Amino acid sequence: MPTRISNGARRLLAWRSARGLSQQRASAALDVQQSRLSEYELGKRRPSLITAARIEQRTEGVVPCSAWLETDAGSDAALAAANG
């Protein structure tokens, strides 16, 4: 069975890609280590609640805290709309 990554991971990667940011620049903007950002985007790790709240704030709600708990494919439309 394939591993399902959280919508938070997918939204974070989409947010970074849509803005043309490298992981290094995005990690500076989000105040996380680049290695952690990579783990978040790959679905290998989920941020703490404090870090998730900071990511939500700094992405202007594109990556909400609740997205780290979701894994259903049904929110693909919400992801596309958020990145317009």
pTM: 0.79
* Whether CATH 1.10.260.40 fits 7-66: yes
Largest CA distance in the chain: 35
Residues 43-84: tens digit of each pLDDT: 999 999 999 999 999 999 999 999 998 775 544 555 455 555
* CB-based contacts of 58, cutoff 8 Å, min separation 6: 29, 30, 31
Mean pLDDT over each residue of the chain, to the nearest integer: 87
